Amino acid sequence: MTIELRPTRVRVVLVTLPSMEVGRSLVGTLVDEGLVACGNLVPGLVSIFPWEGQVQEEAEVLAILKTVEERLPDLVRRVPELHPYDVPEVLSLPVDRGHDPYLNWVADVASSPSPQDETDDGQTPGA
């Protein structure tokens, strides 16, 4: 039996962060702004990398963000504005397959106008 992979609009975006506090703030802002449907924060990550001529080892938190392809340009622009690192990790991975109700939920939430896009009367612009 062959499993057919079909591209979806959903993307997983990985971002490493220095702490849970920074992660909660960054992910909360991205959800509030409608750039992601949701995010998970995974503590206990150890990153090893060269920086300024020396090998560094740092405890970090991994944010796993779920969004849609059309939000990626704004998301990739916004994360560095909110992030404390000089060169933050922002990696987008395509989702080829998943539980359809969940993929639909991510697409619906991340495709909806953000609360900041609404006018004072709660109506979306142009509605």
* 118 occurs within a structural domain: no
Q: What is the pLDDT of residue 114?
A: 67
- The answer to the question of residue 2 being in a domain is no
- Average pLDDT for 4-19: 88
Please indicate, yes or no, if residue 69 is contained in any of the structural domains. Answer: yes
CATH number at residue 84: 3.30.70.120
49 Cβ contact partners less than 8 Å away, ≥ 6 residues apart: 55, 56, 58
pLDDT attached to residue 117: 56
Does residue 119 lie within any of the structural domains? no
pTM: 0.84
The reported pLDDT for the residue numbered 39 is 98
Strands (E), the chain: 10-17, 38-51, 54-68, 91-94
Computed over every residue of the chain, the mean pLDDT equals: 89
Residue 3 counted as domain residue: no
CB-based contacts of 1, cutoff 8 Å, min separation 6: none
Assigned domain for 127 exists: no
| Confidence (pLDDT) at 125 | 35
The answer to the question of residue 23 being in a domain is: yes
Residue 91, SS3?
strand
pLDDT tens, position by position, 94-119:
999 999 999 999 999 998 876 555 54
- Domain total for the chain? 1
Residue-range definition of the domain harbouring residue 52: 10-111
Tell me if 20 is assigned to some domain.
Answer: yes
pLDDT of residue 113: 74
Say yes or no to pLDDT of 7 above 80.
Answer: no
